Amino acid sequence: MSKTFIIAEAGVNHNGKIKLAKKLIDTAKSAGADAVKFQTFKAESLVSKAAQKAEYQKQNTEADESQLEMVRKLELYFSNFEELEKYCEEKEILFLSTPFDLESIDLLERLEMPIYKVPSGEITNLPYLMKIASTCKPVIMSTGMSDLDEVSLALEVLRENGAGTITLLHCNTQYPTPFDDANIRAMLTLKERFGLAVGYSDHTLGIEAPIAAVALGATVIEKHFTLDKSMEGPDHRASLDPQELKVMVTSIRNIEVALGDGIKRPSKSETPNKEVARKSIVAKRNIVKGEFLTEDNITVKRPGNGISPMKWFEVLGKSAKRNFCEDELIEL
């Protein structure tokens, strides 16, 4: 990819409402993201009745509801995803959705989704990984909560079962992730260990971490966003608002340009400053023709359009070819 692939993660921040989901698509498009991503699941296929909510989910949802009850409220009908995919096509932004069960993979295949995103929680789900790989499409896999051996095993499953190009995302699944736990350099460890393109799925507050990841070489950035952080739901408070999303995208694009091609040379914009900022050998005082040039009668001052001070010792001891006034550029 010639630029960072930015995924605006809508996730379940639509709160189960198709109208909100479409507004999230509009927001992602307006911010300049490359793709907007949702989550596709059947609540009963994803969560058992005994499953407990994560601590951050308890803090941001009704305290007395189970994880299954919470997930049910965030579920969209499969037909809704067909509608959202068409809406993304109209808005000219790539539609993506993370499947969380085998039936959802089948649905997204019917929608001809071009890339599959494997979430951190499925990295140890063998039947899931095999089915994703069998689509033979590119895979972006988050690696939160995993060590290198688990990542290696998941990659082996994907490769052996026909997956296309694989990109690994470093990730921390705590919402929000404390900055001292983000460990963005682990992204570079993934790149070195597995020789694959890497990126960063960010759950810290703010936009600093994904921007830093791009500076370190991330090819993919994924970030949650919401229409309103005060809305009820598990992910809103750890998400960017629309303006923050736009600033993040703009900042990443600026960083991409600023990184440049790595060749050290004077840039087009700074070349005119050479004459202004550099120095030349000039007369320290009035010099008479034939006088020897010494440290007593020459010095170094701006501008830099004369003899370079790097030739200082080539100039010393020469005789003045003509009279020079104080501050006049020396000529040989």
Query: Which pLDDT score is estimated for 203?
Result: 97
Residue 228 shares a structural domain with residue 270 = no
Domain end marker among 243, 259, 275: 259
278 vs 232: CA distance, rounded Å: 60
Query: How deeply is 218 buried, as exposed, middle or buried, from its count of CB atoms within 10 A (0-12, 13-18, 19+)?
Result: buried
Pure H helices in the chain: 18-31, 43-46, 55-60, 67-73, 78-91, 102-110, 126-134, 148-160, 186-194, 208-215, 242-259, 273-277, 312-315
Residue 296 shares a structural domain with residue 226 = no
pLDDT in tens, the chain (332 residues): 569 999 999 999 999 999 999 999 999 999 999 999 999 998 787 888 778 877 777 776 776 778 888 878 788 989 999 999 999 999 999 999 999 999 999 999 999 999 999 999 999 999 999 999 999 999 999 999 999 999 999 999 999 999 999 999 999 999 999 999 999 999 999 999 999 999 999 999 999 999 999 999 999 999 999 999 999 888 899 999 999 999 999 999 999 999 999 999 999 999 999 999 999 999 999 999 999 999 999 999 999 999 999 999 999 999 999 999 999 999 99
53 vs 59: CA distance, rounded Å: 10
Residue 305 shares a structural domain with residue 229 = no
The total number of residues shown for the chain amounts to 332
- pLDDT (tens digit per residue) in 16-29: 999 999 999 999 99
303 prior amide bond cis, ω within 30: yes
CB atoms within 10 A of CB 314: 12
Residue 251 shares a structural domain with residue 278 = no
Query: Which pLDDT score is estimated for 63?
Result: 67
Count of structural domains, the chain: 2
Residue 73 shares a structural domain with residue 189 = yes
Listing from the earlier edge strand, what are the strands of the sheet with 5-11?
94-99, 35-40, 5-11, 220-224, 197-202, 166-171, 139-142, 116-118
In sequence order, what DSSP letters do the residues of 15-41 get, joined into one string? TT-HHHHHHHHHHHHHHT-SEEEEEE-
Residue 273 shares a structural domain with residue 209 = no
Three-state SS at 286: coil
Write the CB contacts of 270 (distance below 8 Å, at least 6 apart in sequence): none
Question: What is the pTM assigned to this prediction?
Answer: 0.89
Contact 98, 119 (CB under 8 A): yes
Q: What are the backbone dihedrals phi and psi of residue 321, each rounded to the nearest 5 degrees, phi first?
A: -75, -15
- pLDDT (tens digit per residue) in 134-147: 999 999 999 999 99
Q: Residue 19 corresponds to which tokens in the numbers above?
A: 């109208």
CB atoms within 10 A of CB 144: 17
Contact 169, 221 (CB under 8 A): no
Residue 101 shares a structural domain with residue 187 = yes
User: Which domain CATH number covers 271?
Assistant: 3.90.1210.10
User: Which domain CATH number covers 206?
Assistant: 3.20.20.70
Residue 269 shares a structural domain with residue 191 = no
Residue 172 shares a structural domain with residue 296 = no
Residue 39 shares a structural domain with residue 174 = yes
Residue 211 shares a structural domain with residue 148 = yes
Residue 167 shares a structural domain with residue 294 = no
164 vs 21: CA distance, rounded Å: 29
Q: Which residues of 69-87 are buried (b: 16+ CB within 10 A; e: fewer)?
A: ebbbbbbbebebbeebbeb
Vertex 177: Cα angle to 166 and 193 (nearest 5): 35
Nearest to 238 by CA among 224, 259, 253, 254: 224
Domain end marker among 218, 237, 259: 259
Structural domain of 290 = 265-332
Vertex 11: Cα angle to 165 and 23 (nearest 5): 115
Domain end marker among 204, 230, 259: 259
Contact 282, 306 (CB under 8 A): yes
102 vs 104: CA distance, rounded Å: 5
